[in-house]
């Protein structure tokens, strides 16, 4: 929901248009689409995307010069919550992860042929991309542990290694790959670079879409395991400088976590609405509604309080990043990551419980959210890593 404390006139004008679009064009078809092959859904969504452009909400995260809505981070955060109320919201507005972050990288670091071949079609929604960093043999919570190498050979890099949980690799036109370019640098955070790899390059092999809780995702919903077998790409496809991969990754982390957390709050609002509707309509005895039970009332009250607290926490963090920079908001960024992920888990779980057996079926969105969003407490840094980081920063001031 729109927060009046952080809302702007520009957002107040755009928000109802987006809300109306979701209610008319997306919500009625979600359950049907979730049962279809992704390639078929993608065709259906193309027509929806043209309507998004017509209401002026295309690429909301990016400047008007790049065909976007030109919103700032705090405005984007609130729109991200609204789009998060549907599994297809961000996708149809061309601001889904990882494409949104990849566009930011290309806008800042790409030039010439790279912008023409990769950035412009991505901005137009004509292609998709993926971000390839996590490796099966190394802990994803420790970013300096990386075996994938990129060896300079004349005017090319030769990339070798294996990645997994590369979101949206299935059907992507290119990957941005984190690989070790400077293995001997004494600073472990300056050993890796980011390199564009077109997915039709010889040696790029999508081995499988990793099944998540029994469901093998496709297309944008997939998590690919990829083998890079002596993949040869032009050295010009390096983003930034050799050894700047971690620096580039950090630049997209703060805003990226704002996007994630507000999307999760959107999911919470959708699950909360379903829970309240069920509680108000379900008879458990003649003349007795489920919502009259104190346990259910506690679920509703606790969920409302947690969602509202989470929203204010994330918007405050977005404002801090926007006005003071990521470094100044480092503690808040860690805090929202684990706190909002926990709120998401609790609210969805309560909604499932209130729906009873219906809640674990695919007749509502809840089972989809329950299995797809359990990873929120793991990806982009597990809860434990963020809690430890936050505690260390707090304790440092006491020493």
Whether 270 maps to a domain, the answer reads yes
Q: What does the pLDDT look like over 278-311, one tens digit per residue?
A: 999 999 999 999 999 999 999 999 999 999 999 9
Instruction: Tell me: do 193 and 257 sit in the same domain.
Output: no
Task: Using a pLDDT cut of 70, give the percent of the chain over it.
Answer: 100
Instruction: Tell me: do 236 and 253 sit in the same domain.
Output: no
Whether 328 maps to a domain, the answer reads yes
Chain position carrying tokens 């379903």: 274
Q: Are 233 and 335 in contact (CB under 8 A)?
A: no
Instruction: Tell me: do 379 and 266 sit in the same domain.
Output: yes
Residue after which a domain boundary falls, among 73, 95, 117: 95
Among 44-48, 203-207, 385-389, the least confident range = 44-48
The confidence score (pLDDT) of residue 392 equals 96
Query: Residues of 305-343 as b/e, b for ≥16 C-beta within 10 angstroms?
Result: ebbeebbebbbbbbbbbbeeebeebbebbbbbbbbbbbb
Q: What does the pLDDT look like over 303-327, one tens digit per residue?
A: 999 999 999 999 999 999 999 999 8
Instruction: Tell me: do 273 and 217 sit in the same domain.
Output: no
Q: Which comes out higher in pLDDT, residue 180 or 63?
A: 180
The confidence score (pLDDT) of residue 144 equals 85
Instruction: Tell me: do 40 and 82 sit in the same domain.
Output: yes
The confidence score (pLDDT) of residue 141 equals 77
Whether 100 maps to a domain, the answer reads no
Whether 159 maps to a domain, the answer reads yes
Cβ neighbours for 43, distance < 8 A, ≥ 6 positions apart: none
Q: What CATH number is given to the structural domain containing 186?
A: 2.40.110.10
Q: Is the pLDDT score of 5 beyond 80? A: no
The confidence score (pLDDT) of residue 218 equals 84
Q: Is the pLDDT score of 341 beyond 90? A: yes
The token pair at 36 is 């279809």
Instruction: Tell me: do 193 and 267 sit in the same domain.
Output: no
Q: What does the pLDDT look like over 202-247, one tens digit per residue?
A: 999 999 999 988 877 888 889 999 999 999 999 999 999 999 999 9
The token pair at 325 is 């920079």
Instruction: Tell me: do 250 and 238 sit in the same domain.
Output: no
Q: Is the pLDDT score of 103 beyond 80? A: yes
Q: Is the pLDDT score of 132 beyond 90? A: yes
Residue after which a domain boundary falls, among 242, 263, 286: 242
Q: Is the pLDDT score of 1 beyond 80? A: no
Task: Using a pLDDT cut of 90, give the percent of the chain over it.
Answer: 81
Say what the pTM is: 0.94
Instruction: Tell me: do 168 and 271 sit in the same domain.
Output: no
Instruction: Tell me: do 308 and 387 sit in the same domain.
Output: yes
Q: Is the pLDDT score of 336 beyond 90? A: yes
The confidence score (pLDDT) of residue 3 equals 76
Q: What does the pLDDT look like over 137-196, one tens digit per residue?
A: 998 878 789 999 999 999 999 999 999 999 999 999 999 999 999 999 999 999 999 999
Mean local confidence (pLDDT), 63-86: 93
The boundaries of the domain holding residue 25 are 9-95
The confidence score (pLDDT) of residue 89 equals 96
Chain position carrying tokens 């909400």: 57
Instruction: Tell me: do 377 and 389 sit in the same domain.
Output: yes
Q: What CATH number is given to the structural domain containing 78?
A: 1.10.540.10
Whether 102 maps to a domain, the answer reads no
Instruction: Tell me: do 155 and 292 sit in the same domain.
Output: no
pLDDT, averaged across the chain? 94
Whether 163 maps to a domain, the answer reads yes
Q: Is the pLDDT score of 197 beyond 80? A: yes
Residue after which a domain boundary falls, among 95, 113, 137: 95
Instruction: Tell me: do 186 and 264 sit in the same domain.
Output: no
| 48 CB-side CA count, 13 A | 21
Chain position carrying tokens 């670079």: 193
Q: What CATH number is given to the structural domain containing 283?
A: 1.20.140.10
Whether 123 maps to a domain, the answer reads no
> How many domains are contained in the chain?
3
| Burial (0-12, 13-18, 19+ Cβ within 10 Å), 248 | buried
Whether 116 maps to a domain, the answer reads no
Q: Are 163 and 155 in contact (CB under 8 A)?
A: no
């Amino acid at each position: 929901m729109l927060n009046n404390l952080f809302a702007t006139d520009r957002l107040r004008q755009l928000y109802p248009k987006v809300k109306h679009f979701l209610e008319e064009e997306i919500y009625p078809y979600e359950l049907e689409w979730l049962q279809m092959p992704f390639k078929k859904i993608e065709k259906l969504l193309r027509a929806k995307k043209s309507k998004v452009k017509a209401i002026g909400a295309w690429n909301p995260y990016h400047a008007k010069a790049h065909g976007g809505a030109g919103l700032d981070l705090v405005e984007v955060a609130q729109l991200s919550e609204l789009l998060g109320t549907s599994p297809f919201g961000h996708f149809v507005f061309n601001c889904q992860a990882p494409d949104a972050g990849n566009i930011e990288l290309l806008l800042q670091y790409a030039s010439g042929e790279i912008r023409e071949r990769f950035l412009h079609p991505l901005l137009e929604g004509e292609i998709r991309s993926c971000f390839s960093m996590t490796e099966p043999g190394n802990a994803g919570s420790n970013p300096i542990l990386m075996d994938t190498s990129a060896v300079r050979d004349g005017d090319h890099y030769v990339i070798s290694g294996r990645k997994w949980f590369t979101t949206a690799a299935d059907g992507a036109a290119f990957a941005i790959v984190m690989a070790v370019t400077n293995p001997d640098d004494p600073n472990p955070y300056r050993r890796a670079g980011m390199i564009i790899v077109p997915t039709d390059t010889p040696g790029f092999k999508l081995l499988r879409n990793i099944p998540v809780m029994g469901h093998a995702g496709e297309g944008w919903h997939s998590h690919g395991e990829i083998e890079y077998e002596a993949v040869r790409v032009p050295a010009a496809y390096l983003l930034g400088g050799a050894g700047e991969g971690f620096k580039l990754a950090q630049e997209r982390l703060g805003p990226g976590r704002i996007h994630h957390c507000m999307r999760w709050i959107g999911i919470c609002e959708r699950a909360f609405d379903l829970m309240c509707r069920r509680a108000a309509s379900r008879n458990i005895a003649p003349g007795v509604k489920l919502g009259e039970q104190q346990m259910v009332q506690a679920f509703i009250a606790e969920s409302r309080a947690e969602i509202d607290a989470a929203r204010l926490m994330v918007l405050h963090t977005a404002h801090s990043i926007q006005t003071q920079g990521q470094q100044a908001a480092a503690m808040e960024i860690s805090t929202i990551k684990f706190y909002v992920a926990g709120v998401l888990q609790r609210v969805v779980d309560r909604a499932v419980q209130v729906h009873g057996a219906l809640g674990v079926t695919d007749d509502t969105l809840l089972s989809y959210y329950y299995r797809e969003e359990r990873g929120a407490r793991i990806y982009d840094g597990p809860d434990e890593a963020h809690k430890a980081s936050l505690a260390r920063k707090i304790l440092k001031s006491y020493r």
